[in-house]
Structure 1
């Protein structure tokens, strides 16, 4: 019971940190109700203007969206443009700081994050380390890519990748959210993007993911124990 209480407390602390980080750096309040599946989905509305001196807090986007969110899908060109600028800024932040968060964050916040990660590793029995080892191996291969399909909204997905130090293993262009669509639709989007001449391996833990992989005739690698990452790594060495 004490362990359950401590674990719940830690997860709550991480949840609060995720929200604060997403709010501070990734426009959570502005974009949480108008999330998109991929970072480039709004690129067509980006006018390419210089963002170095752009004042996101004073451009009226938050107030306009809270009152007129439906306009984004019905000809609200100015709002869509401001949304696109925010996603471009997110792209810049993620790409520039995914492997050096200490240069982005305040010292106290960064130290707090390191403490959270250490405690998370303890409670999760270092799950993240074999995962990083497998992701790192895949990244180092010139003909391989790590692609993530997440059921969380895109802003939260990118935040989690950054704070759990996984951002450097996933290019932001290879991160997809299926929060507002289906996993099948999103996987098909990935397949259409990379084509049929690639070898795909779907890594997941749910039976729905396994069934979808079978439906799409894709090999599935289940991850329910940390040792499964080691097995995946061995398979990558010898068979793929």
Structure 2
């Protein structure tokens, strides 16, 4: 009998991380004066600045912002595999129109982005910036009552392993074949900033760059369809976790369980709070398996 595979499909903003609700004050506002709204806004602005700076400085975002793709491998057939170690990305003439020649140049950039993602923040941030990042993460986690670290811990438990602080250069296919369960990210934001967010919010070892999808242009239903095709095998179960109507409707169309995240302080589906046990319950309702069966595989 084939081993059961649970594919957990996560939304990013207001699900795994809080950013928009920090910036607009709605997260703190829900606490009726118990949290300082301006402090949350300042934390959100600091994250925004760090993310955008990293996107532009290390991930070609100024060059490719207008050429968002749904996932990094989408143009891989245009990549001829040439050695890019001496390639000049600032003078290769990349730009519109996105014809075959420019698709190849974009595929080169995606290849380098994937390599940087796999190596992690430590490969391109200096020690001073690492310290700034560590302090900001701790500040954010404290302000949100451990939302960030609790979300990370839930993903960790879903795939049944602990964080390895050393960069993981293993291929996505190899990692997936060694794991019963997989975390996939489907975000409505652009692809490159979403990858950088995974790095900054310590999710990169739990969500490989191959498992990050942007529904910006194509919609979440299309992304879910790709994911279903990709993980098409016996005994596979899918579970969607997010806060928005689009992922809810897409999950219903796919007949997958959907867990709605609500950041309100009294909600049970939030972080801290949500656990793999909760997800296994939703899986059992849709797929007919028992909670105990699902928990044995998480």
TM-score by length of 2: 0.71
1:23 aligns with 2:43: no
Which residue does 1:219 correspond to in 2?
A: 257
Higher relative contact order (CA 8 A, sep 6+): 2
SS at match of 1:149: strand
Which residue does 2:124 correspond to in 1?
A: 104
Residues 107-149 of structure 1: per-residue CA shift (max 9 Å, x gap): 2221111121111112211111221112112223722111111
**1:217, 1:144 → 2: CA distance?**
19
Structure 2 unaligned spans of 5+:
1-32, 162-178, 263-269, 282-290
Please report how far the alpha carbon of residue 205 of structure 1 lies from its aligned counterpart in structure 2 after TM superposition.
2.0
Q: Match for 2:101 among 78, 81, 86?
A: 78
**1:40, 1:89 → 2: CA distance?**
12
**Alpha-carbon contact 1:130-1:230 (below 8 Å) kept:** no
**1:227, 1:170 → 2: CA distance?**
20
Q: Match for 1:189 among 204, 226, 245?
A: 226
Q: Aligned residue pairs: how many?
A: 227
Structure 1 unaligned spans of 5+:
none
Please report how far the alpha carbon of residue 231 of structure 1 lies from its aligned counterpart in structure 2 after TM superposition.
5.7
SS at match of 1:40: helix
Aligned alpha-carbon RMSD (Å) = 2.1
**Alpha-carbon contact 2:157-2:276 (below 8 Å) kept:** no
Which residue does 1:35 correspond to in 2?
A: 68
Please report how far the alpha carbon of residue 196 of structure 1 lies from its aligned counterpart in structure 2 after TM superposition.
5.7
**2:43, 2:149 → 1: CA distance?**
19
**2:248, 2:47 → 1: CA distance?**
29
Q: Match for 1:121 among 122, 130, 141?
A: 141
Which residue does 1:163 correspond to in 2?
A: 200
**Alpha-carbon contact 1:134-1:233 (below 8 Å) kept:** no
Residues 180-239 of structure 1: per-residue CA shift (max 9 Å, x gap): 111111111111221263111111122442233222210122332224423646838834
Which residue does 1:94 correspond to in 2?
A: 117
Please report how far the alpha carbon of residue 81 of structure 1 lies from its aligned counterpart in structure 2 after TM superposition.
1.5
SS at match of 2:217: coil
Write out aligned runs for 1:131-146 (5 A).
131-140=151-160, 142-146=179-183
Structure number with the higher helix fraction is: 1
TM-score by length of 1: 0.87
Write out aligned runs for 1:196-235 (5 A).
197=234, 198-224=236-262, 225-230=270-275, 232=277, 235=280
**2:276, 2:237 → 1: CA distance?**
18
